[in-house]
Structure 1
Amino acid sequence: MAVYTEVSAEQAGSLLAQLGLGPLVAMQPIGSGIENTNYFVTTPEGEWVMTLFERLSHDQLPFYLRLMQHLAQRGLPVPEPRANAQGGLVQTVAGKPAALVNRLQGESLDAPDLHHCRELGGVLARMHLAVADFPLQQPNLRGLPWREATAPVVRPHLAPADAALLDQEMAHQRELHASAAYQALPAGAVHADLFRDNAMFAGLPGRERLSGVFDFYFAGTDTFVFDLAVVLNDWCVDLDSGRLDLPRAQALMSAYQAERPLSSTELRLLPALRRTAALRFWLSRLSDWHLPREASLLLPKDPAHFERVLRDAAERPWHADV
């Protein structure tokens, strides 16, 4: 992620000693993303990812880290946090809450094809099934209350047509969230940010397996169909036009439903939840673009992409037929 906090070799070495991982061999900052500070760390025991949390507090972190631990221990391709001698997963580095997880092998993809979408659909469904006995609860911190607070802050920066779109979508979201059908949707701990750059594949071309799902630090308790909508809006969308690519969407949905069939209500509300997911990321990118934070490697993402995705989801709703 963006490097907001510089970490010295001595500070990293102190963390590694606490976790029983031996001396620091190498450390490299990770420059992609915009939320936390991340470094690749190498020790004699292996390769790790060290994260310093710039917005989340010590009290909020157990939900994310225990969720990762829960999924990893159930055989899903999720990095597992390293515990200290007392069993704690939340550490402190440079005065910030921090965690260390094992580094998974593989590479992220810029252009996923049908095979990759099928791989992801199956893993996503298994993740949703695996949290049935996960005991912790935490609201999605980018849910409706956050959108209600963020929309009036970014609205003055918008052109009239975009401000009208924002007003329309906020009204749509209020109506959706108040409906009995929405409130009855199956829910649990979800990733909520599973973009193509938060997953990795390894193996021969055309036969790759999904080897890693990571960056759970937007996770929260939300509907499973919202999590699915987030994935569809990234993995199955044309990056130039923002339009849904139907073959990829159908491949992902078929693989998902082979593991966890969606209810009729989930299928009916999926088009509306695609709008919810698009609005959530349009707002966060508008905030990052117009109200940036300082960071030595900060690269805010263009909000125009999710404006296009949102317009497409609203104007051409897709009803899955699988």
Structure 2
Amino acid sequence: MMSHDVMPLPVEYEALRGKRCLVTGAAGFIGGALFRRLVSYGIDVTGTVLLPSEAEELRREGLRAAVLDLSADNNWDEMLRGAQVVFNIAAMFQETEQSEDMYDKVDHRGALRLAETALRMGAERFVHCSTVGVHGHVKEVPATEATALNPMDLYHRTKLAGEVAILDLARRTSPSQMAITAIRPAMVYGPGDRRMLKLFKTILDGRFVMVGSGQAWTHLGHVEDNVDAFLLGAVAPARAVHGEAFNIASAEPMRLRELVELIAREGGVQPPRLRVPLAPVWAAGVVAEVLCRPFKVRPPLSRRRVGFFTHDRAFDLTKAKQRLGYRSQWAHPEGVRNTIAWYQERKLVAPRSR
């Protein structure tokens, strides 16, 4: 078993001292970062994962892990017994070959059943991971939590259904029983991320092609800022956060072309200039999804991926600042530099001289 250095628990998270926590999705990017942050603070925490092999890997590191499948009909009472704070990060994500029913079973029905089990077993807090994607292509820039919801694909529709169901449970539950909060991360990046690796790699390798104008708004959220938001959701005054959703991102939004130029600049390469029209790429994504779905094969191109180039994502963080006490610690240049360094250390992108 590996030993783990314990860091001082920051004063803003003092309410977690002595609490038993459970983090679902502990093998994933955000869930893993949250789980390991709690471990680093010396908090009594169990991480749940989907696969037995993932649980064994965590246990070999000396971490407490259990297997939890949100799509299963298992009884979860014993797993949640004694957990005072439950962070639900697990979700079905980017599994375009899966059916809508399976997505709904995990991201909606499974998430709700987990919240109901946590309530029944006496948890004090339930902090649920939603997504700013419930706003879709935002109707106003920057969007607030009150901006119209406009989920544009299967993942976002089922995540919205899960969020709505869990916040409805909150309306029927006193915060003194269990305070329930939803955190909506923006486009999360940082050390440990593989989802945005392709974007970084194609830019740094000089192979990036912009689809469309590059004028869409985008808003990054560094993973450590997101971890802070989840922790704040567990310690903020219950009545300030109970039954509420919070959009979370880092620093300020920027145009997509500005993000591409930032990644190139921090990676020491020339910004890419090649662009292609949107319409044929969108059509190709639709065709790829239709052809691949019967074979349960992930398509090489999808509408969700094309939407990265077209959907506005920019968020007003006032509510999170006022009620959660959230403050972004990561400026975009520092975060992009930090992410590139992590990729380079693992030889995921080629090192570049500055």
Do both proteins adopt the same fold according to a TM-score greater than 0.5, normalized to the shorter chain? no
The TM-score with structure 1 as length reference comes to 0.29
